């Protein structure tokens, strides 16, 4: 995807004979970018810890406007997709760049349904994990191990191999997540069922047993599908950037997605949904909220309000709005709208949004603030929350990986500002 400079930045450096001319490129939306590639030849690196001001790549998949609270997947607004689409249709859109017609959609759903089983031998990998292993530890391990079963489709330069791998990962992630849960219970794994939708099948594999079926409630299935949909992709977030960086070395896509799962696990990223529930349980009562708000504002206290704040959204996370509405729908239909945890979350949100500290730092609820409350209402255990985020995010990860490897790319290799020891001679131990 070649770029044409729309204008030029001139960098004048004190003491340099000539200023440095840097090309500026524009995209279809969002800020222009300054190509700093030639700085190295001039003896400089850019310096941007946390990549706050760095565009790592070009992409056509997802656009976010943090100030306006806009999230578009291939140009379609997230609120319209949440209201009118479903997770598998969004998977198709992310992978292919357009909404499927009926024949394309039916074929895609059929394909995904026919890849939901995992190799029977993969079941033995689970025996190596303790019953109390965190599901994300298991999902990291078994997702990477998937590559050991698909030597027939690991040529990343073969478009057909990339397509079948994308389908396998989207299809198998719910199966692996449910198996991680069943392992923790000591219950038998449940095979996927092709007569069920993607979300229904996941709930079936989570809660059915060989002794009795699990009748999937349409309300919970719809809520589960929307949770997957709202987590499907989010531009160059930490885990997607990890998948891209791993992919830039030519690693196979199963290994790249396993790296993405590892990055997502952190409480500052996908682990936040689990951390929100842990935090709400720690706060314990609406009466304690003020104490915790004070802790969150104290620069010397590491405590943060989990589910609040975002690197990009300095306005409401549009997914949080949809999640909040879904939360009310699900709890209302389940008759638990008086859930004390929900009441505490709503009170915490109200206080935080009126507090000068949060207002001045533009901290709003993010996608993780309400998702945990919905998952809890569905009956999902807290330790499974991030595994569900990983399941929902799989199409995003694999769409970005595919976009990168299907175009010319370079291995990702950042540099540094070195502040260590300058060269010194080795000293024999007798002389130290
Ligand atoms: C996800 O990138 C993505 O797109 C991620 C994601 C996706 O879909 O992939 O959207 C999913 O990861 C959502 C974020 C989930 N994480 C949390 O909810 C954890 C709590 N939030 C924070 O840790 C924090 O807000 C981050 C990590 C999300 C963003 O951190 P930044 O952009 O590096 O901002 P920062 O940490 O520098 O915070 C700016 C200021 C700081 O104060 P000062 O140093 O300026 O004085 O705001 C404060 C922070 O102390 N702050 C908070 C806070 N979040 C930021 N203070 C209290 N509570 C919080 N939650």
Ligand 1, atom 33, lies closest to the CA of 311
Q: Up-side HSE of residue 206: CA atoms within 13 Å toward CB?
A: 24
**Whether pLDDT at 2 is above 80:** no
Which one is predicted more confidently, 3 or 45? 45
Confidence (pLDDT) at 88: 98
Read off the pLDDT of each residue in 361-390 and give the average, rounded to a whole number: 92
Residue from 295, 310, 321 whose mutation best tests the ligand 1 pocket (most atoms within 8 A of CB) = 310
Q: How many helices (H) and strands (E) does the chain have?
A: 16, 6
Read off the pLDDT of each residue in 236-242 and give the average, rounded to a whole number: 98
Read off the pLDDT of each residue in 40-57 and give the average, rounded to a whole number: 96
Q: Is the CB of 304 under 6 A from ligand 1?
A: yes
Beta-bridge partners for 72:
63, 77
Q: Is the CB of 269 under 6 A from ligand 1?
A: yes
Confidence (pLDDT) at 329: 87
Helices 318-333 and 367-378 cross at an angle (nearest 10°) of 20
Query: Rounded to whole angstroms, how far apart are CA atoms 292 and 282?
Result: 10
Q: Is the CB of 310 under 6 A from ligand 1?
A: yes
Question: How many residues appear in the chain?
Answer: 432
Q: Is the CB of 204 under 6 A from ligand 1?
A: no
Q: Is the CB of 355 under 6 A from ligand 1?
A: no
Q: Is the CB of 305 under 6 A from ligand 1?
A: yes
Ligand 1, atom 42, lies closest to the CA of 361
| CA 312–ligand 1 middle distance (angstroms) | 9
**Sign of CA pseudo-dihedral 334, 69, 93, 105:** positive
Query: Rounded to whole angstroms, how far apart are CA atoms 257 and 71?
Result: 23
Atom of ligand 1 nearest to the CA of 357: 56
Query: Rounded to whole angstroms, how far apart are CA atoms 219 and 278?
Result: 25
Whether the Cβ atoms of residue 3 and residue 35 lie closer than 8 Å to each other: yes
Query: Rounded to whole angstroms, how far apart are CA atoms 189 and 179?
Result: 6
Confidence (pLDDT) at 357: 92
Confidence (pLDDT) at 212: 95
Percent of the chain residues topping a pLDDT of 90: 86
| CA 177–ligand 1 middle distance (angstroms) | 27
Q: How far is CA 79 from the centre of its chain?
A: 18
Whether the Cβ atoms of residue 34 and residue 89 lie closer than 8 Å to each other: no
Confidence (pLDDT) at 352: 83
Confidence (pLDDT) at 142: 97
Average pLDDT, the chain: 95
Atom of ligand 1 nearest to the CA of 235: 4
* Residue 148 tokens, joined: 């050991």
Query: Rounded to whole angstroms, how far apart are CA atoms 361 and 105?
Result: 43
Read off the pLDDT of each residue in 58-72 and give the average, rounded to a whole number: 96
Confidence (pLDDT) at 48: 98
Burial letters for 131-152: b for 16+ Cβ neighbours within 10 Å, e otherwise?
eebbbbebbbbbbbbbbeebee
Q: Is the CB of 309 under 6 A from ligand 1?
A: yes
Phi and psi torsions of 63, nearest 5°: -120, 135
Atom of ligand 1 nearest to the CA of 238: 2
Detail the DSSP E strand segments found in 12-132: 20-25, 33-34, 62-65, 70-73, 76-77
| CA 313–ligand 1 middle distance (angstroms) | 10
* Residue 152 tokens, joined: 């027939």
Where helices occur in 298-418 by DSSP H, the ranges are 318-333, 340-354, 356-360, 367-378, 385-405
Q: What is the pTM of this model?
A: 0.95
- What confidence tier does 341 reach under pLDDT thresholds 50, 70, 90? confident
Query: Rounded to whole angstroms, how far apart are CA atoms 290 and 374?
Result: 24
10, containing H or E segment: strand 7-11
How do residues 150-193 score in pLDDT, each as one tens digit? Answer: 988 999 999 999 999 999 999 999 999 999 999 999 999 999 99
* DSSP 8-state class, residue 165: H
- What confidence tier does 1 reach under pLDDT thresholds 50, 70, 90? low
How many CB atoms sit inside 10 A of residue 65's CB? 16
Beta-bridge partners for 70:
65
Query: Rounded to whole angstroms, how far apart are CA atoms 9 and 46?
Result: 14
Ligand 1, atom 28, lies closest to the CA of 310
Beta-bridge partners for 11:
20
**Sign of CA pseudo-dihedral 94, 96, 98, 104:** negative
| Residues identified as active-site | 269, 310, 368
How do residues 247-302 score in pLDDT, each as one tens digit? Answer: 999 999 999 999 999 999 999 999 999 999 999 999 999 999 999 999 999 999 99
Three-state secondary structure call for residue 386 = helix
How do residues 97-156 score in pLDDT, each as one tens digit? Answer: 999 999 999 999 999 999 999 999 999 999 999 999 999 999 999 999 999 999 889 999
Q: Is the CB of 167 under 6 A from ligand 1?
A: no
Three-state secondary structure call for residue 228 = helix
| CA 358–ligand 1 middle distance (angstroms) | 11
């Amino acid at each position: 995807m070649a770029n044409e400079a729309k204008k030029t930045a001139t960098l004048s450096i004190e003491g340099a004979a000539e200023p440095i001319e840097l090309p500026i490129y524009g995209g279809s939306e969002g800020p222009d970018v300054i190509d700093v590639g030639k700085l190295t030849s001039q003896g400089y690196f850019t310096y941007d810890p946390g990549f706050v001001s760095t565009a790592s790549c070009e992409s056509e998949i997802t656009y976010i406007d943090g100030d306006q609270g806009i999230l578009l997947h291939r140009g379609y607004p997230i609120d319209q997709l949440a209201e009118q689409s479903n997770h598998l249709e969004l998977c198709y859109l992310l992978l292919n760049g357009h909404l499927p017609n009926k024949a394309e959609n039916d074929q895609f759903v059929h394909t995904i349904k026919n890849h939901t089983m995992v190799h029977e031998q993969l079941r033995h990998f689970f025996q190596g994990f303790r019953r109390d292993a965190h599901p994300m530890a298991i999902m990291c391990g078994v997702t990477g191990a998937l590559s050991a079963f698909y030597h027939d489709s690991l040529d990343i330069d073969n478009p057909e191999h990339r397509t079948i791998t994308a389908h396998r990962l989207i299809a198998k992630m719910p199966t692996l997540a449910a198996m991680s849960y069943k392992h923790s219970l000591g219950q038998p794994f449940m095979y996927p069922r092709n007569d069920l939708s993607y979300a229904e099948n996941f709930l079936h594999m989570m809660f059915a047993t060989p002794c009795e079926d699990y009748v999937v409630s349409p309300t919970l299935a719809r809520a589960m599908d929307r949770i997957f949909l709202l987590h499907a992709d989010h531009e160059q977030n930490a885990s997607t950037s990890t998948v891209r960086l791993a992919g830039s070395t030519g690693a196979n896509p199963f290994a790249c997605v396993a790296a993405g799962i590892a990055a997502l696990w952190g409480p500052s990223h996908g682990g936040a949904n689990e951390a929100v529930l842990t935090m709400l349980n720690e706060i314990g009562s609406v009466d304690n909220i003020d104490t915790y708000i004070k802790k969150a504002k104290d620069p010397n206290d590491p405590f943060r309000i989990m589910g609040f704040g975002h690197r990009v959204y300095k306005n409401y996370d549009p997914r949080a709005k949809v999640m909040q509405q879904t939360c009310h729908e699900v709890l209302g239909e389940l008759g638990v709208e008086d859930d004390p945890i929900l009441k505490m979350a709503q009170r915490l949100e109200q206080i935080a949004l009126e507090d000068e500290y949060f207002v001045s730092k533009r901290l709003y609820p993010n996608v993780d603030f309400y998702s945990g409350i919905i998952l809890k209402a569905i009956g999902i255990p807290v330790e499974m929350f991030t595994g569900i985020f990983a399941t929902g995010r799989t199409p995003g990860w694999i769409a970005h990986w595919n976009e990168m490897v299907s175009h010319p790319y370079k291995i990702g290799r950042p540099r540094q500002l070195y502040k260590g020891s300058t060269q010194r001679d080795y000293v024999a131990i007798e002389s130290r």
